[in-house]
Every structure is written in C-alpha cells, then in structure tokens.
Structure 1
Amino acid sequence: MPSADGDDTYEELNRFDGGTSWLAHPDEAMQRVSHVLDTDAGVFLVDPIDVSGIDDLAAEFGDGRGSDAPAGQPEAGASGDVAGVVLLLNRHERDAATVARRHDVPVYLPSFLTREVDAPTERFDGSLPGTDYGLLRTLAVPGWHEAALFDGETLVVPEAVGTAPFFHGADEQLGVHPMLRLTPPSTLRGLRPERILVGHGRGVHEAAADSLRYALEHSRSNAPGVWAGMVRELFR
C-alpha cells in the first residue's frame, strides 16, 4: 500500500533467470523488498508490498501473458501466471492478502506459521508445492516464527539476515538481524547458495555462500558495533 507521504513507487532489484525483486518506496529506511519467483508451477510473489506496477513486473515471467490493463492499473482478478503468494513470516503479512485476492490465488503459508490472513490459504510442508524450493524453519520463538526457501541456488530469507544498513556491521555484506545477533539461526549454517534474496535490502549475488558463512560466524562478535550503529541512527 502507499506510504504515508503518498509515494507509491518501486525499484527493481536482483533480476536473475528465476525471478526478480522489488524494493517498495525506495526512500524508506527499512528497505522492504519483495520477490518474484518463476517456477515450473508458475510465478509466486513472496512477502509482497503492493505498489503500482508490480503486476506488470510479475507478468514478465511465466509465459508472459499478464493483464490487458494499462500499466499500473492491473485488471482485478487477472492472475496471468501468478500461481500464489507466499508468506514466510508471522510477525507481519505485508500486503499478502490484498495481492492474493487481486490475482484470485491462495496465500501459501508454512504449516508452522501461526498467522491468519484475509484470503484463501494453503498450508505446506517440505517444499513450496510444484517447485524445487525446499522449506526451512529458520526461527521459532514466541512471537517470531520465520521460514526460508532454498532450491540449491537461491536462498530467500525474510528477516533473519539482511543487507539494509541496520542489519550489518562495517565489514559485513550480509548481517544477522540485530535482535538475533546472540543466537543466529543455525538452520542457515552450511548452506551454499549462489544468491541470497532478503526481505530488507538488496540481494547478495557474489560470494553469497561466503557472505552467509561470515555473517553467521561473526554474528556475536560484530553485535556491539551493529547495536551502536542503531543507537547512533536513533539519535541522528
């Protein structure tokens, strides 16, 4: 949905053979990023922030049919190749329900996510149905349940790690969420993705596996610098 100042724009990021991402409201400090995944089962929109033009962006994938509506004015109920919306975090739903209803597709929820959304839902385990994206349970603490998707090449993580400034220290390309610095998610250890798509910040497309390993191994030792940076930002 539009931000408080009326900005309703996005910046495309991370385009690769299997999809792309969009950064909603690029001037926002949170750098909220959503993803288009092009799979054998169709196009999935992951943790979407709804801004003008994203349906046209999604229509560039799949068989490219898209909608006949003018750019920025998607036809209500037209799905093109959108097979579903995926929600990977229970702390918020972003605009998952709105986007799913517009495309007349379900919201796919990992079975362990304790959240209800105002749209038809499909619970899943193991992998995202019809795709090579396996489901990983990255976090399960009171109030914060989080999942990731990984197909052996592309790792999609909503919040446990990120690249927005408040996530990473001075020598980190990718960083563990400030609230998880002392207990980084063990599920991500040992993975060797070619790229990492995150919910906050630009994706990592070079040395992604090394960046992930470094982020997890140095999560605790780099925590004081990250926390100090957050305090400085708070009082700027």
Structure 2
Amino acid sequence: MPMKATGRATDFAEIDRFDDGVGWIAHPEEEMQRASHALAVDDEVWVVDPVDAEGIDDLFAEFGEVQGVVVLMDRHGRDAAAVAERHDVPIYVPSFVDPDINARTQPVTGELPGTDFEVVRTVDWPGWDEAALYDGETLVVGDAVGTAKYFTTGDERVGVHPMLRVKPPKALEQFEPERILVGHGESVMTDAASALEYALDGARRRAPKAWLDAVRSMV
C-alpha cells in the first residue's frame, strides 16, 4: 500500500458519523490514512482538511450547504482549494497558520464564524503551526494526535504524533471531548476524554515503543 496516494480519489470510505457531522478517508488504501470531516452547524457545513473524492459533495449535502472550508495546519492544504472553488466558499485558516495552498484564504481567530467552535493553537514549532477546533463536545485536530497505526502503540485508542511525544502539546490538556476527529485515521467516538488523557499522560513514557512501531508500520 502506498504511504500517500495521489490524484483525486474515485471513491471514499465513510469513517464516522454523528448528528452534527461525518468523516471520510478518500484513499482507504494509503498508509497515512488522511481523514477529512464535515461539521454541520444550523444546516451549514464546514469542511475540514479535505481530501477530495468523487461523490463527496453528495455526502456534504446530507447535512446542509457548504459554508466554508477550514485548514487546521500548515501541511494540510490538501484539496481545500478545489473543494472551496467548487462550492464558491472561503478557505478559513487560523491567523497563525501559513498553509500550502495556492488560493486566497481568510484568517480566523477566536471562533469559527457563526459557530461555537473555538480555534485553539495546539502546536507552535518552527515549521509546524497547528490549531484545533472545539465546541465543548467535539474536538477536531490535524496532526497533534491521531489513530492511524503509526500514531498509536499498545492499548492507546488515540496517540500523540511521534514527533511530539517527548513534549506533548499542553493545549490539548484543557479538552474533555465526547468525540475526537483526527486528521489521520478513524475518529474516537466514545469515551474520548479518557482516551485523550491516557494518550497525553503516557506519550513520553511510551515513546520508544511508539517510534519502533511507527517504523515497522512503514516498512
């Protein structure tokens, strides 16, 4: 299986669904397991870190009209420009993030316009700026934590990114989500707060095994 697939996907796999959103992986066969999400707020849809696929607009339409596309980190430009152009909507980017997008973007601070989703800075490293969205129930992250197999080790249901394990983002400690939507892998839809706490508390201690597991998963 390829680490990262190229080109527009001809199909996609739905990975999670709840009353206010849905997630998908456009290239289920790839090792990176790039996940995308559509969040519904009052019949308006916000598409987060999208990887495009044929038929994906029909998935959005189940929840309402697309209001905007959101990019949470500098490396997640993905297919944001294509999706935004197709729906004639802005691309919203946290004001501190400079994404790899060849299109005009709209900086956002505080809350995503017209929603209860707060934009929270989670990673502030040279060459790595990342935000999360949180509305008190749903936590949406880019790369800080994930569930793809190179993120987790042992009995972790969600794991800290391998490069962040020595110093996990403290910003994540404030969240007690009901669900966690990640940028790589399937979402955590039950008992998410305890899964996140466990991931953060043991990230450094379990780092050597996680790094070894990550290498093995890519070989």
TM-score interval for Structure 1 and Structure 2 normalised by the shorter chain: over 0.9
Closer, same or farther in 2 for the Cα pair 1:193/1:118, shift >3 Å? Answer: same
What residue in structure 2 maps to residue 120 of structure 1?
A: 104
Closer, same or farther in 2 for the Cα pair 1:41/1:4, shift >3 Å? Answer: closer
What residue in structure 2 maps to residue 223 of structure 1?
A: 207
Deviation above 3 Å: which 4+ runs of structure 1?
A: 2-7
Tell me the CA shift for residue 24 of structure 1. 1.3
Deviates more, 1:166-175 or 1:114-123: 114-123
SS at match of 2:36: strand
Tell me the CA shift for residue 114 of structure 1. 1.9
Is this contact kept in 1: 2:149–2:214, CA < 8 A?
no
After the TM superposition, which residues 24-63 of structure 1 pair with which residues of structure 2 at under 5 Å, given as runs?
Answer: 24-40=26-42, 42-62=44-64
1:129 to 113, 116, 123: 113
Question: Do residues 147 (structure 1) and 149 (structure 2) align?
Answer: no
Residue-by-residue CA offset, 1:81-107 (whole Å, 9 max, x unaligned)? 110100001023100011111111110
Counterpart-to-counterpart distance in 1, 2:90 and 2:7: 30
**Bigger-Rg structure (1/2):** 1
What residue in structure 2 maps to residue 8 of structure 1?
A: 10
**TM-score where L is the length of structure 1:** 0.87
SS at match of 2:30: coil
What residue in structure 2 maps to residue 97 of structure 1?
A: 81
What residue in structure 2 maps to residue 197 of structure 1?
A: 181
SS at match of 1:189: helix
Closer, same or farther in 2 for the Cα pair 1:6/1:92, shift >3 Å? Answer: closer
Counterpart-to-counterpart distance in 1, 2:116 and 2:206: 34
Residue-by-residue CA offset, 1:99-148 (whole Å, 9 max, x unaligned)? 11111111001111123633332111101010010111000111100000
Counterpart-to-counterpart distance in 1, 2:102 and 2:31: 28
Is this contact kept in 1: 2:17–2:23, CA < 8 A?
yes
The sequence identity of aligned pairs, in percent, is 54
Counterpart-to-counterpart distance in 2, 1:85 and 1:189: 26
SS at match of 2:189: coil
Corresponding letter in the other structure for 2:99: R
Counterpart-to-counterpart distance in 1, 2:99 and 2:214: 29
Closer, same or farther in 2 for the Cα pair 1:121/1:181, shift >3 Å? Answer: same
Matched residue pairs, number?
216
RMSD: 1.7
Q: Structure 1: any 5+ residue segments left out of the alignment? A: 63-80
Corresponding letter in the other structure for 2:118: G
Corresponding letter in the other structure for 2:51: I
Q: Structure 2: any 5+ residue segments left out of the alignment? A: none
What residue in structure 1 maps to residue 161 of structure 2?
A: 177
